[in-house]
Chain A
Amino acid sequence: MAASSSSVPFFANIREEDQSQMKQQHSSTAPTSSAVQAAPPPQKKKRNQPGTPSKIILIISCLAFFITDPDAEVIALSPKTLMATNRFICEVCNKGFQREQNLQLHRRGHNLPWKLKQKTTKEPKRKVYLCPEPTCVHHDPSRALGDLTGIKKHYSRKHGEKKWKCEKCSKRYAVQSDWKAHSKTCGTREYRCDCGTLFSRRDSFITHRAFCDALAQESARQPPNMGSTIGSHLYGNSNMGLGLSQVGPQISSMQDQNNQSNDMLRLGSGRPGQFDHLLPPGIGSSFRPPHPMPSSAMFMQDSSQNYHQEHQSQQGLMSEKSFHGLMPFSDLQNSTTSNPPPAGTNLFNLGFMSNTSSNSSGNANNNNSSLPSSAMLMPNHFNNENGSGGGSEGSNLFSNNMMADQITSGVPSLYTTSVQSNTAMPHMSATALLQKAAQMGSTSSNNNTSSSLLRSFGSSSSKSERQVVPGGLSSMFGENNENHFQDLMNSFTSGNSSIFGSKFGTYDTNRTNLELMDLEPNNKPNQNLSGGGGGSGSDRLTRDFLGVGQIVRSMSGVSQRDQQQHQQRQQQQQQQQQHGLDMSSLDSDRNTAPSSQSFGGGGNFQ
């Protein structure tokens, strides 16, 4: 590191200073300013910032008088006098002058007695000036400064306001001449860190380097697949290295591919070849080698040069647009992310969940053709079937496909990674939950319901309040994503129930609802089993249903606040539903007025 090498000069420096001080002490018999300036600068090394050359002279002159001269007259000026630009005032016309000599000459014009200071033949009494700042080292007479300009500049530099700002680098200066000198050179010299950041000042650059190096070491230490951001930077940079400077969309798609395939490798179920067609030909092949990322450290060093700019361009590249065009899967991703929060995707974070939901919306938009894998088309078939007949056979078929084909196809990992690479907050994050809770809290207080949601959750006595009320479902959807929900609604002829079915990748509509109802707290466990879940299939499926049930409940949770008056009706409903009701009447009703209905439409059943 540069730091260690420069330590030696530092000490050499001090010695030079000492010498120069001594020299000056010897010559202090004739310390006129001209003598000082004529003296060869005792040290060649510049002691100030590049761009403030005026300091050199100042410092040299300071050094010259850094001596305790017992004979010197010590002058302590108040800050006001010190900073006053024209402190010699003419008593007649109040004109101010910077120097006494000038005032004297001016007084001559008023016919006032005037006197120019004569060069005395006698050695003039040397004057030293104190810094008015009591805490300053130069406040001490032993360290007084030798000339008035020096102390002025010192005072404004060290204790004054930095009024002059460089427009280029925003460094501020208290002394105008410093600022001028800096402005002349600012930007002409540049320090470029390996990370790509440019600095106009060496000290900033050095401070930056100290940290930048540390960070580089740190990230090099990180194992390959750690961190999608770091990973993507690496890839982005290595692309640069390969000379593909501005292939925006490709890079982003490659990155994503990369993340995905990495994930697949990690999961052990991936088939990277599958994605070959997604990669633009030449780039794909040149790019694949680094997949295992054997030496991240090497990459870091090579590529860090471009890091900064790279990152910014990447930010642009990562935008959804480019995602869209290049990724056949993008429909999938979009549809899942656009789902309102209570969607199944969050529940287990499994890919197949999201796939089905995307299919369902794909179905709604008649976009099936864009979905590439045959496994993913399966659910659509099923959904259609379900919509028309509602056969329970289809459900088994569907769920089997889900479990078998889709998981192994590696598509799930695709989904999860695409979520990762999105900068959006993960759905299940505590922050998001809290925000949501706050929203709900505010709406509930707006509605002026007397008891909060908590009450109903909290007290086990008020079970009836916790009824499933999918009427609230639609209102939930309505709040978040009305159009989406409407699409879903319209696409399924069987209405509400099949929305559940398709959304969560499940099942025969009637039975789904039965299941849902069975899980309601009002029912005894025995009834649950006999009601529908018992006959419906494997444990796995039942578990899925639970997921569905939870979702439905979450929706009902929101709507509870305006559903208390329906309690009675709901209880009746539930009983009826256990007997397996015809849902069609409900469906039609739901399509027309989704938001106002409680589950099953209440009266429809009676």
Chain B
Amino acid sequence: MARTKQEGRSSLTSSHESSPGLGSPYPWLRSPQSEEGGLQLIELLGECASHVTARCLHSVNTRLEHISYLASPKGTAIQRIASYFIEAFADRMLKGFTGLHKALNSTKISSVSEEILVQKLFYEHCPFLKFAYLITNQAIMEAMEGEKVVHIIDLYPVEPEQWIRLLQALSVRQEGAPHLKITGIHEQNEVLEKMDLQLKEEADRLSIPFQFNPIVSTIENLDIESLGIKTGEALAVISVLQLHSLLAVDEEVVRRNQQSLQQFLETDLNHLFIASASSSTTSELSLSASPKMESFLSSLRRFSPKLMVITEQEANHNGFTLIERVHNAMKFYAALFDCLDSTKSIAPIEQQKVEKMLFGEEIKNIVACDGAERKERHEKLEKWILWLELAGFSRVPFSYNGRVDASTMLQYYSDGYSFTEENGCLVIYWHEIPLFSVSAWSFR
């Protein structure tokens, strides 16, 4: 379905863009549907990124004009990716002109319901979140064996289904269901209310003593004391794609110091590509996580959670240089776009929504934002392991059963998905591209 849809798209566009040599203002641009055009797009994007870094407005403008001729939010995967990247580039450039930037975004409305819908679509059509939830629930079941009071802190509850499933699993537990308390942290009260309602209903149906504790907050501003953790309850902390936002620091000062070096590197584009590979070392200068992350983890540690399950993007989008971030983000989101293309159940309009409102926004954040504003600071598993171990947590291996379930589930989706166990953590792949990691931790 998606395939034919795609073909329809491309053949349609190819009929009027078929001859870039004849009608187009840039005769040297290739047809974006061809592989060649795709490669050209990639290269143009890379070049554009370096001009953006140099803040060379004129060159950026020219490149963006070229790319926008090739890119299309409805074209092939690479065309769509390019559309979101150039939007992000433009946003970044415009940030220099605060007035312009503010004016352009002055009427921007963010619709909560739309956002929720998009997240739901992503949850339904891609296996990643389901994978994380399944593994998480399995880990909770195992860790909470025999516990009578279980408190789960969900740092970003989106999908009630996860907890409904857990309620169901707990209700048939051999030793009987525990008293379950779930604390949900979300910026939107709406989401929490809905979740509260649904979970209470299910708990009532299953006659499980249940309590939902909604906290309207972002993870950055979260007051740990407000979580209502009581001694004696078995605590589980669940974070799905949230923890990285705690890495946001105002690195403007550091950045300025590095700027001169960067400019030196960017004089030669070829060198730059080499530099982007090695610049990860610059970001590794800070061995410790951000102060925010450290204080968060150490305050959690005080409550000695029995289990902490962390799902994160398995990519380094927290590089110091823009080039590095663009490079890694392109790889990562290309795989995600491909995933969506391979998903037959998603309607084109839904797919576009997910791409625009979820992936597109993340790309924009990674590319256009800096300092505290840049929340999408995805880091690889190795970093998480380092930070969590520094904070005094130790890894909990996933059980065989959990892994069996996970692989069964992935097979429902596509052969393209797979996962591996790396250092006791699970990493889910789309073909050879690692996309998300799930790791479980416990205090001590």
Q: Could you list which residues of chain A lie within 8 angstroms of chain B, going by C-beta atoms?
A: 1-4, 6-11, 13-14, 46-50, 134-137, 139-140, 157-158, 169-171, 195, 197, 199, 201-204, 206-208, 210-212, 214-215, 218-219, 222, 225-230, 233, 266-267, 308, 311, 341-342, 346-350, 416, 420, 423, 425-431, 433-434, 436-437, 440-441, 444-445, 449-455, 457-458, 460, 463, 466, 519-521, 525, 528, 542-543, 546-547, 549-551, 553-554, 557
Known: A227-B345, A348-B10, A430-B334. A214 touches B165 (CB 8 A): yes
A–B Cβ pairs within 8 angstroms, 19 of them = A3-B172, A4-B206, A7-B207, A139-B232, A199-B401, A203-B174, A210-B137, A212-B408, A233-B411, A431-B430, A445-B273, A445-B274, A457-B28, A458-B47, A463-B28, A519-B21, A549-B21, A550-B31, A550-B36
**Does B372 touch A at the CB level, under 8 Å?**
no
Residue of B nearest to A416 (CB): B3
Q: A433 to B334, Cβ gap below 8 A?
A: yes
Return the 5 tightest CB-CB contacts between A and B, nearest first: A554-B36, A430-B334, A430-B77, A204-B401, A137-B232
Residue of B nearest to A138 (CB): B232
Contact partner of B35 (CB less than 8 A), chosen from A230, A267, A346, A519, is: A346
**Does B263 touch A at the CB level, under 8 Å?**
no
B77 CB, nearest partner CB in chain A, Å:
4
Write out the residue numbers on chain A whose beta carbons fall within 8 Å of the beta carbon of B10: 348-349
Q: B334 to A434, Cβ gap below 8 A?
A: yes
Query: Quick one: CB contact mask for B264-289 with A, threshold 8 Å, 1 for yes?
Result: 00001110011000000000000000
Known: A14-B176, A202-B174. A211 touches B134 (CB 8 A): yes
In angstroms, Cα B30 to Cα A519, docked, is 11
In angstroms, Cα B172 to Cα A243, docked, is 36
Known: A1-B168, A554-B39. A423 touches B415 (CB 8 A): yes
Q: A553 to B30, Cβ gap below 8 A?
A: yes
Q: A452 to B43, Cβ gap below 8 A?
A: yes
Write out the residue numbers on chain A whose beta carbons fall within 8 Å of the beta carbon of B31: 546-547, 550
Known: A14-B176, A204-B399, A528-B21. A521 touches B27 (CB 8 A): yes
Q: B78 to A433, Cβ gap below 8 A?
A: yes
Q: A429 to B77, Cβ gap below 8 A?
A: yes
Write out the residue numbers on chain A whose beta carbons fall within 8 Å of the beta carbon of B341: 426, 429
In angstroms, Cα B229 to Cα A35, docked, is 39
Residue of B nearest to A157 (CB): B146
Known: A48-B174, A458-B47, A466-B28. A169 touches B400 (CB 8 A): yes
Q: Could you list which residues of chain B lie within 8 angstroms of chain A, going by C-beta atoms?
A: 1, 3-4, 6-7, 10-11, 14-15, 18-19, 21-22, 26-31, 33-40, 42-44, 46-47, 62-63, 66, 76-78, 81, 134, 137-138, 141, 145-146, 148-149, 161, 165, 167-169, 171-177, 205-208, 231-232, 268-270, 273-274, 303-304, 330-331, 334-335, 337-338, 341-342, 344-345, 399-401, 404-405, 408-409, 411-416, 430-431, 433
> Chain A CB within 10 Å — which of B14, B29, B401 has the most?
B401
Q: A550 to B399, Cβ gap below 8 A?
A: no
Known: A169-B400, A457-B40. A207 touches B141 (CB 8 A): yes
Main secondary structure, interface of B, reads: helix
Q: A455 to B269, Cβ gap below 8 A?
A: yes
Q: A431 to B344, Cβ gap below 8 A?
A: no
Write out the residue numbers on chain A whose beta carbons fall within 8 Å of the beta carbon of B169: 3, 203, 206-207, 210
Q: B171 to A6, Cβ gap below 8 A?
A: yes
Q: B35 to A347, Cβ gap below 8 A?
A: yes
In angstroms, Cα B72 to Cα A129, docked, is 70
Residue of A nearest to B38 (CB): A433
Contact partner of A266 (CB less than 8 A), chosen from B4, B141, B168, B274, is: B4
Q: A428 to B76, Cβ gap below 8 A?
A: yes
In angstroms, Cα B15 to Cα A350, docked, is 14
Q: B401 to A3, Cβ gap below 8 A?
A: no
Write out the residue numbers on chain B whose beta carbons fall within 8 Å of the beta carbon of A8: 207
Q: A434 to B330, Cβ gap below 8 A?
A: yes
Write out the residue numbers on chain A whose beta carbons fall within 8 Å of the beta carbon of B81: 430
Q: A431 to B338, Cβ gap below 8 A?
A: yes
In angstroms, Cα B430 to Cα A451, docked, is 33
Write out the residue numbers on chain B whose beta carbons fall within 8 Å of the beta carbon of A14: 176
Known: A208-B401, A212-B408. A460 touches B28 (CB 8 A): yes
Known: A137-B149, A557-B39. A460 touches B26 (CB 8 A): yes
Write out the residue numbers on chain A whose beta carbons fall within 8 Å of the beta carbon of B3: 349, 416, 420
Contact partner of A452 (CB less than 8 A), chosen from B28, B270, B401, is: B270
Q: A342 to B411, Cβ gap below 8 A?
A: no
In angstroms, Cα B169 to Cα A341, docked, is 49
Write out the residue numbers on chain B whose beta carbons fall within 8 Å of the beta carbon of A135: 231-232, 303-304
B316 CB, nearest partner CB in chain A, Å:
15
A503 CB, nearest partner CB in chain B, Å:
14
Write out the residue numbers on chain A whose beta carbons fall within 8 Å of the beta carbon of B34: 346-347, 547, 550-551, 554
Write out the residue numbers on chain B whose beta carbons fall within 8 Å of the beta carbon of A207: 137-138, 141, 169, 401, 405
Contact partner of A206 (CB less than 8 A), chosen from B38, B145, B172, B331, is: B172
In angstroms, Cα B208 to Cα A10, docked, is 8
Q: A557 to B36, Cβ gap below 8 A?
A: yes
Given A233-B411, A452-B269, output 19 extra A-B contacts at Cβ < 8 Å. A3-B167, A3-B172, A3-B206, A48-B146, A49-B145, A136-B232, A214-B165, A425-B431, A427-B35, A431-B335, A445-B274, A451-B269, A519-B19, A521-B27, A525-B22, A528-B21, A546-B19, A550-B30, A557-B36
In angstroms, Cα B142 to Cα A170, docked, is 13
Residue of A nearest to B331 (CB): A434
Residue of A nearest to B415 (CB): A423
A404 CB, nearest partner CB in chain B, Å:
18
Write out the residue numbers on chain B whose beta carbons fall within 8 Å of the beta carbon of A551: 34, 36
Q: B207 to A433, Cβ gap below 8 A?
A: no
Write out the residue numbers on chain B whose beta carbons fall within 8 Å of the beta carbon of A3: 167-169, 171-172, 206
In angstroms, Cα B444 to Cα A134, docked, is 13
B43 CB, nearest partner CB in chain A, Å:
4
Q: A437 to B338, Cβ gap below 8 A?
A: no
Write out the residue numbers on chain A whose beta carbons fall within 8 Å of the beta carbon of B270: 444-445, 449-452
Residue of A nearest to B404 (CB): A197
Contact partner of A430 (CB less than 8 A), chosen from B19, B78, B134, is: B78
Contact partner of B413 (CB less than 8 A), chosen from A6, A229, A452, is: A229
Residue of B nearest to A520 (CB): B21
B98 CB, nearest partner CB in chain A, Å:
29
Residue of A nearest to B19 (CB): A546
Residue of B nearest to A544 (CB): B18
Residue of B nearest to A450 (CB): B270
Residue of B nearest to A429 (CB): B338
B434 CB, nearest partner CB in chain A, Å:
12
In angstroms, Cα B110 to Cα A506, docked, is 51
A111 CB, nearest partner CB in chain B, Å:
45
Q: B345 to A222, Cβ gap below 8 A?
A: yes
Q: B63 to A458, Cβ gap below 8 A?
A: yes
Q: B175 to A553, Cβ gap below 8 A?
A: no
A528 CB, nearest partner CB in chain B, Å:
7
Q: B141 to A203, Cβ gap below 8 A?
A: yes
Write out the residue numbers on chain A whose beta carbons fall within 8 Å of the beta carbon of B39: 433, 436-437, 440, 554, 557
Contact partner of A528 (CB less than 8 A), chosen from B22, B38, B411, is: B22
> Chain B CB within 10 Å — which of A211, A525, A554 has the most?
A211
B66 CB, nearest partner CB in chain A, Å:
7
Known: A2-B172, A433-B42, A547-B34. A423 touches B405 (CB 8 A): no
In angstroms, Cα B134 to Cα A521, docked, is 55
In angstroms, Cα B270 to Cα A212, docked, is 51
A316 CB, nearest partner CB in chain B, Å:
13
In angstroms, Cα B381 to Cα A527, docked, is 58
Residue of A nearest to B47 (CB): A454
Q: B35 to A229, Cβ gap below 8 A?
A: no
B145 CB, nearest partner CB in chain A, Å:
7
Residue of B nearest to A552 (CB): B36
In angstroms, Cα B412 to Cα A427, docked, is 23
Write out the residue numbers on chain B whose beta carbons fall within 8 Å of the beta carbon of A449: 270
Q: A7 to B171, Cβ gap below 8 A?
A: yes
Q: A10 to B207, Cβ gap below 8 A?
A: yes
Q: B206 to A219, Cβ gap below 8 A?
A: no
